[in-house]
Amino acid sequence: MATDNVVNMVSSIGNADNLEIFEMLMKGEICGCKIGERFDLDNKGVISKMSPMVESGLVDVVAGLEWNKYKINETQMCILNKYFNDQITACRSTGCRCKCGDGCC
């Protein structure tokens, strides 16, 4: 697994607004107009805001006549999920325990 790929995906959702958009996308494909409404952006602003997530491969874009539609790239999401699951498994195999308490992971 390419570490750079994981870094790019995580970085692309590395602020509160982008994380909120990611959470919106986890519910399914959405029109850029909904993102624009939520963050008071025009189409150009939405495209700019979505650019890091699209460029990282985490989000796919479907061009529309007026607004683009966005959805999670399931393959990339699986790569990201596997990365974090592998880290948790490695931690558990060494006897490591989270500071949040037993059984939290």
- How buried is residue 22: exposed, middle or buried, by Cβ count under 10 Å (0-12/13-18/19+)? middle
Give me the CATH number covering residue 36: 1.10.10.10
Q: What domain count does the chain have?
A: 1
Residue 73 CB neighbours (<10 A): 19
The count of C-alpha atoms lying within 13 angstroms of the C-alpha of 5, restricted to the half-sphere facing its C-beta, is 14
Residue 67 in any domain: the answer is yes
Look up the pTM and report it. Answer: 0.82
Span 26-57, pLDDT tens digits: 999 999 999 999 999 999 999 999 999 999 99
| Containing structural domain, residue 45 | 3-86
What is the 8-class DSSP label of residue 68? -
Distance of CA 8 to the CA centre of its chain: 10
Residue 104 in any domain: the answer is no
Span 56-96, pLDDT tens digits: 999 999 999 999 999 999 999 999 999 888 888 877 777 76
Span 19-32, pLDDT tens digits: 999 999 999 999 99
Give CA–CA dist 50/44, Å, rounded: 10
